[in-house]
Amino acid sequence: MWRDEILEEIYRIREEHAKAFNYDLKAICDDLRKRQAASGRKIISKPLRQPRQPHNKSLHPTG
In a domain, 51, yes or no: no
pLDDT in tens, 8-33: 999 999 999 999 999 999 999 999 99
pLDDT of residue 7: 96
Answer for the pair 28, 18: CB distance below 8 angstroms, yes or no: yes
**Residue 5 vs residues 1, 8, 39, 48: alpha-carbon distances, Å:** 12, 5, 26, 34
In a domain, 47, yes or no: no
**Which letter does DSSP use for residue 28 in this model?**
H
In a domain, 53, yes or no: no
pLDDT in tens, 26-60: 999 999 999 999 999 988 888 888 888 776 666 66
Alpha-carbon Rg for the chain in angstroms: 23
In a domain, 21, yes or no: yes
pLDDT of residue 51: 80
Q: Provide the domain limits for residue 14.
A: 5-38
Per-residue confidence band for 1, with pLDDT thresholds at 50, 70 and 90: confident
Dihedral of alpha carbons 9, 10, 13, 15, sign: negative
Q: Report helix, strand or coil for 63.
A: coil
Per the structure, the count of domains in the chain is 1
